[in-house]
Structure 1
Amino acid sequence: MKAIVYTTNGGPDVLSLTEREVPEPGPGEVRVKVEVSAVNPTDWKSRQNTAPPRPQVPNQDGAGVIDAVGAGVPAERVGERVWLLLSAYQRPDGTAQQYTTVPADRAVPLPDGASFDLGASLGVPALTAHRALTVADGGPDRLAPGALDGVTVLVAGGAGAVGNAAIQLARWAGATVITTVSSAEKGALATAAGAHHVVNYREQDAASEIRRIAPDGVHIVVEVAPGANAELNTAVAANGAVIAFYADDLGTFGVPIRPSMTANLRWQGLLLYTVPPAALAAGVAAVSAAVAEGALRGGPEAGLPYHRYPLERTGEAHEAVRNGVIGKVLIDIPS
């Protein structure tokens, strides 16, 4: 089978197209014939920064069809359409290959009518968004219609993949959704995702506009740039709000101490790899339900344009994500 592999860390040039044996699923595992692989920032960052202990196939997310199961997995799962999560986490087999093996619970049934493109786009972005929306004190552990009724959510960077998922999931759960963007083009994408209010922070006074929309403040902030937006978030947060951040960089930032104390704010970091198992399982269930109900969508009509690459151009796909392409980068896996 064809696979993309790297044996040392570095730029996209360390990726090579190779021929490998089709893997056999071990106990508790399934083998998936991958149809579409997806690229997230974590994929190129892992490749660039971490030398693998053994040959590594990149990419955490993907979608395909189960074609074999290991011991302890029901045989009825063969033929099941699935979306994949954390495929390459502490494992050598990501989704940039024709077949991959994963623990059975990392291959999630893909609801009828959902495309492989959408399935491959879920994983990291949708589960990160779900976690950010469910860490507030007294808030729901799992999203569902009505779970965020009466809640105002601010999504930073509504045209990004996590921002797009956060907008769609928050709206599905009943929240009023405000998002910040840096251009009219990104604003159109955030509107397509379902944001009720879009604030262009380059053309508007973001704090004043958000406070005009939500005079009592926002209850949850889904934040990609906590350092750049610390002052804004403090200015617009309601008493007891949570700022849930999944930082786009690994720098440091200062928390405005007195305003945070006065408003009883919580600054909540999150990383999908270390999310508690129960919270991850709740996210998987909620994301699948949202997809089944047509509330979580992909493609330009949902504010998430697709950018496609063949398997042999995986390095270019990684670079597109590293360079900040707007939308979802997908890799078509050959039959």
Structure 2
Amino acid sequence: MRAVVYTETGDSSVLEVVEREATEPGPGEVRVRIVRAGVNPTDWKFRAGGMGELAFPEVVPGQDGSGVVDAVGPDVDGLAVGDRVWTMLAQHRRPGGTAQELVVLPVGHLTTLPEGASYDVGASLGVPAITAHRALTTSEDGPDRLAPGALSGRTVLVAGGAGAVGNAAIQLARWAGATVIATVSSDDKARLATAAGAHHTVNYRGGDTADAVRALAPDGVDIVVEVAPAQNLKLDLRVIKPRGTIAIYANNGGDEVSISVRETFSTNARFQWVLLYTVGEAALRAAADDITAAVADGAYGAGEDHGLPLHHYPLEQTAEAHAAVEDGAVGKVLIDLSDA
């Protein structure tokens, strides 16, 4: 089978396509024939050495993907050969991710892809959608699960509404009944956020963003899904409701954040840090189940119509796919491994 590997950290040139023998699934594992693999910022950051030294002599990148169950190991319930699935954290603590034709994964890292949902959608879930779910479900006043009506009466502010996590947060929050405001940097990105389901968009490059958000939500917002705390924290504190949650999942715009203790006290708000690798299996499974329900309801999708442009690359161009994500491609970068 074909696989993309790297044996040292560096720029995208360290990636190479090789032939490898497919492995058999062990107890509690299944083998998946990958149709699409998603590329996330964490993929190039791991490859570039930003997450530390390599944990394995040879690494296949890719946390996210979608495909068809090809073989089932002992003691596996709920999945069978021929089932369509999407993956989560495929590379976590494992040398083999989704940038290969066949990957063996624990059954807990797979979820059935609903009938009618494309492999493009399945490969676009994973890291972005689960991150968004976590950001939306850790507030003091709940909810801890998403479903239609779960966020009714709540207002969610999504920073960077045209990004992959921002797009996922908009789609999930809208499905759950929230009023969604997204900040964007251009009219084109405003159109993407609106296509995802945002009720309102605010261009943070034109005027006072906090005043604009307050005009839309006079009582403040219940949840902020934050991608750039170094730049936006003062804004977030101006618009958050008492007991609201500022959920921070990335460090865009800088690694350091300073806050005024007195100013922050007055909000009674909480800061929720979001990193999927340590949230725990229960949170991952809850997110996977809720996201799959949203997809099955037709409330979550990928492509221009859902505010998430798709960029396809063949497996042999995985280096170019990584470079596209590293350069800030708007939308979702996918690697095509086989036909459906």
2:56 is the alignment partner of 1:20: no
Amino acid at match of 2:13: D
Structure 1 unaligned blocks of 5 or more: none
Please give the alpha-carbon distance, in whole angstroms, between the structure 1 residues aligned to 2:38 and 2:99.
8
Q: Is the 8 A contact 2:36 2:338 kept in 1?
A: no
Match in the other structure for 1:38: 38
Amino acid at match of 1:25: P
Match in the other structure for 1:225: 228
2:325 is the alignment partner of 1:321: yes
Shift of residue 257 of structure 1?
Answer: 1.8
Which residue, 95, 113, 117 being the options, matches 1:114?
A: 117
Amino acid at match of 2:225: V
Runs of 4+ aligned residues of structure 1 deviating over 4 Å after TM superposition are none
Match in the other structure for 2:262: 258
Match in the other structure for 1:70: 73
Please give the alpha-carbon distance, in whole angstroms, between the structure 1 residues aligned to 2:79 and 2:249.
37
Pairs within 5 Å for 1:289-328? 289-328=293-332
Match in the other structure for 1:190: 193
Q: Is the 8 A contact 2:76 2:107 kept in 1?
A: yes
Residues 75 and 198 (structure 1), Cα distance of their counterparts in 2 relative to 1, 3 Å cut: closer
Match in the other structure for 1:245: 248
Shift of residue 76 of structure 1?
Answer: 5.6
Shift of residue 204 of structure 1?
Answer: 3.1
Please give the alpha-carbon distance, in whole angstroms, between the structure 2 residues aligned to 1:82 and 1:206.
41
Please give the alpha-carbon distance, in whole angstroms, between the structure 1 residues aligned to 2:281 and 2:107.
15
Shift of residue 54 of structure 1?
Answer: 2.0
Which residue, 245, 266, 277 being the options, matches 1:273?
A: 277
Amino acid at match of 1:318: H
Q: CA RMSD in A?
A: 1.1
The TM-score normalised by the length of structure 2 is 0.96
Match in the other structure for 2:179: 176
Amino acid at match of 2:293: A
Amino acid at match of 2:311: H
Q: Percent identity?
A: 58
**Residue-by-residue CA offset, 1:6-44 (whole Å, 9 max, x unaligned):** 111111111110000011111110000000001000000
Match in the other structure for 2:203: 200
Residues 76 and 176 (structure 1), Cα distance of their counterparts in 2 relative to 1, 3 Å cut: closer
Please give the alpha-carbon distance, in whole angstroms, between the structure 1 residues aligned to 2:312 and 2:259.
39
Please give the alpha-carbon distance, in whole angstroms, between the structure 1 residues aligned to 2:192 and 2:6.
34
Please give the alpha-carbon distance, in whole angstroms, between the structure 2 residues aligned to 1:165 and 1:73.
30
Q: Is the 8 A contact 1:69 1:75 kept in 2?
A: no
Q: Is the 8 A contact 1:34 1:99 kept in 2?
A: yes
Residues 229 and 40 (structure 1), Cα distance of their counterparts in 2 relative to 1, 3 Å cut: same
The TM-score normalised by the length of structure 1 is 0.98
Please give the alpha-carbon distance, in whole angstroms, between the structure 2 residues aligned to 1:102 and 1:76.
12
Secondary structure in 2 matching 1:77: coil
Match in the other structure for 1:104: 107
Which residue, 56, 60, 63 being the options, matches 2:59?
A: 56
Shift of residue 74 of structure 1?
Answer: 3.9
